[in-house]
Amino acid sequence: MMKRLYMNIIFTNHAINRLYNRGIAQSDAWYTFQHPDGSIPGKIPGSKKFYKNYGKQRIEVVAKQNEKGEWVILSCWSKLIGDGKPMFSRQEPLLARVIKKGLNKIDKLVRKKKKQS
């Protein structure tokens, strides 16, 4: 389970959702932020994009300091170095896929029964 406060760094709900959906460990995002290979200004005023290369994979983290001076992770993603494509496919969360699959099966059964009637 991912936490909003991890190792004294605040993660927004958006960032936690992105980590979960993209299959990135919170510890990898934290490590990228704490020990980046580099950083550049982010698109949001006052934010920074931190990045770290792990072989052919690059994790990027966008963070900004809040009014108290605390660092807040806003978003995170992973991509292959060189082609700019995401490292992980953007899948629906597991629960949503299971529900959708179940509903499809129920729909097929209902249609089959209607055909038989």
Burial profile 86-109: b = 16 or more Cβ within 10 angstroms, e = fewer? ebeeeeeeeeeeeeeeeeeeeeee
In the three-class reduction of DSSP (H, G, I as helix; E, B as strand; rest coil), residue 6 is classed as strand
- Looking at the DSSP assignment, which residues form a beta bridge with residue 65? 71
Parse the chain into domains and list their residue ranges.
5-89
Between residues 110 and 37, which one has the greater pLDDT? 37
Residue-wise pLDDT for 32-90, tens only, equals 999 999 999 999 999 999 999 988 889 999 999 999 999 999 999 998 887 656 555 55
Task: Report residue 14 CA to chain centroid gap.
Answer: 8
CB 41 within 8 A of CB 47: yes
CATH assignment of 5-89?
Answer: 3.30.2310
- Looking at the DSSP assignment, which residues form a beta bridge with residue 39? 50
DSSP conformation letters of 50-89? EEEEETTEEEEEEEEE-TTS-EEEEEEEEEETTT--BSS-
